[in-house]
Amino acid sequence: AILLCIIGMVYLIHCNIQEFKNDEGSVKVKHTSNRMRLPKITFCNNHPIKRSYVEHFNSTGQLSEEVEKYILLANRDPMMIGKSEKELSELAELD
């Protein structure tokens, strides 16, 4: 029984090798370039949360000062341009 299984295994391996054996053939590939037209100018918004939005949102007084500073601190990299030294030092205190 074991000899019969080994013979069957060898036969199946031989059939698989013959089926997938590399044989000569010709393949023709046609490549066409259908490029997508992109705009010449793209606008990116680097300010995910604007200071004015946070201040407007907090005009009701629902956010504590610490939460407001945390929101501004979490998004501070794009908002650093044009800020005074006092504002920057207030944000740096949370670090």
Per-residue confidence band for 89, with pLDDT thresholds at 50, 70 and 90:
low
The tokens describing 94, both together, are: 């949370």
Instruction: Give the model's confidence band at 34: pLDDT under 50 very low, under 70 low, under 90 confident, else very high.
Output: confident
Confirm whether 67 is domain-assigned: yes
Check whether 82 has a pLDDT greater than 60. no
Range with the poorest average pLDDT among 2-6, 53-57, 66-70, 82-86:
82-86
Three-point CA angle 34, 40, 46, nearest 5°: 115
- Please check whether residue 46 lies inside any domain of the structure: no
Instruction: Say how far apart CA 92 and CA 85 lie, in whole Å.
Output: 10
Is residue 86 situated within a structural domain? yes
**Do the domain assignments include residue 78?**
yes
Over 90: is that where the pLDDT of 8 sits?
Answer: yes
Residue 68 lies in a domain: yes
Above 60 in pLDDT, residue 68? yes
pTM given for the model:
0.26
Domain that holds residue 63: 51-92
Domain-located, residue 34: no
Whether residue 84 lies inside any domain: the answer is yes
d(CA 20, CA 1): 29
